[in-house]
Amino acid sequence: MEKIFEFLKNLNFRKTLAIIGFVILFSMVGFLTISLVKYYYDHFKKDDEVKLYYEFGPNTISYDYDEVAETSDLKEQFISYGISYGVDVSEWQGIIDWEKVKRTGISFAMIRCGFREISGNEIKEDDKFRINIEGATKAGLKVGVYFYGTAKNEKEAQEEAEFTIDLIKDYNITYPVVYDTESFNMGRLKNVSNSSLTDNILTFTETIGLYGYETMVYSYHNAFTYMLDTGKLDGKLIWLAHYTDRTNYKGNYNMWQYTSEGKVDGIKTKVDLNVSYFTYVDDEAKIVPNPRYVKAPTLNFKEVQETVKTKKETAIRTGPTDEIPNRLGTLKRGETLTRTGIHETYSRIIYNGREAYCKTEDLKVSDP
């Protein structure tokens, strides 16, 4: 301090004032910058950033959630954008006090109804399914269900779907019916291809859909990114599991399971917590579009009509990009396709009767 005072003593009065003024100005600029950044995130980033809560006590959160007419036929309603918070539970959570859960501000519950183990063939009902769905419904929560599936083929997937329908048919389901797939190339699924697992998902969800239920697919970040043929799931609601404060998943998703370490009043164990980005409304005029929807880029294709062959193994995609999970499948070398559009990066082709895309460098014009 003595050195500082000596320094100031040796300065003339004007220099001292200049230094003080500079310090004040610097502080004001810093304060203004921080205030502007905070204002931006508070007012312009609300839809992109969701505050995550790991502990739910009474009235710890507020949310906008449209109450709709109670009906198990969700197809009579419309999906609209909107954020709400929920839990997913199974027999591992024991006995739950759903009235306490409701009072925390949690608005929906995804309840495991059954499962097929990764070893063996038996399908089982979750021991706490009935008590959970009855308790959650009575407490006024929206309820959906999920089935943990390990179907090896489409026949088994249909069997799992019919088992699920038999369990839920007498309950008022007000959130989606979910196929939970998270076991790859292990146990009874050893050597079952990821493409086959994707087809099994489709069989399950389409069978469930025949009964009038909304369906959804659950898996984790790397599975949706690298394993499943996500392009085949276009139009399906996606429930993403990724335990992080901010997911970097590049595809579309409608619900995010962001932690398995949640603490919620009324649940004695740790529990999975979820953010839902959709709700149901009973009037088409109330639909709010999802501002988070990811679209493939638009390319200017040269219109052509020609037969091409694959020069090597190549991925078929729903859009002209590999920046988002959109693979429909993989073609072997030497397969013949019809090309209808060409760009330097991607070609538009016809695949299984539908418009699709693959990399232009992987194709060559077929000899006449």
Per-residue pLDDT tens digits for 201-231: 999 999 999 999 999 999 999 999 999 999 9
pLDDT in tens, 247-273: 999 999 999 999 999 999 999 999 999
Q: Which CATH number fits domain 302-365: 3.40.50.2300, 3.30.70.100, 3.40.50.720, 2.30.30.40?
A: 2.30.30.40
Per-residue model confidence (pLDDT) at position 18: 59
Per-residue model confidence (pLDDT) at position 103: 94
Contact 329, 358 (CB under 8 A): no
Per-residue model confidence (pLDDT) at position 28: 64
What three-state secondary structure class fits 138? helix
Q: What's the CA gap between 46 and 147, in Å, rounded?
A: 33
Cβ partners under 8 Å of residue 78, min gap 6: 280, 281, 282, 283, 284, 286, 287
Q: How many residues does the chain have?
A: 368
CB count within 10 Å of CB 274 equals 23
Q: What's the CA gap between 279 and 172, in Å, rounded?
A: 16
Six token digits for residue 267: 């649940």
Q: Where are the beta strands (DSSP E) in the chain?
A: 55-56, 78-89, 108-116, 123-125, 142-148, 177-180, 215-220, 237-241, 255-264, 271-281, 302-310, 314-317, 327-331, 336-342, 346-351, 354-359, 363-365
b/e sequence 112-127, b meaning 16+ C-beta within 10 Å: bbbbbeeeeeebebbe
CATH class of 55-286: alpha beta
pLDDT in tens, 42-87: 444 444 567 788 998 887 776 554 444 444 456 668 888 888 999 9
For the chain, residues with pLDDT lower than 70 are: 1-49, 62-76, 368
In the chain, what are the domain boundaries? 2-44, 55-286, 302-365
b/e sequence 317-348, b meaning 16+ C-beta within 10 Å: bbbbbeebbbbbbebeeeeebebebbeeebbb
Tell me the pTM: 0.84
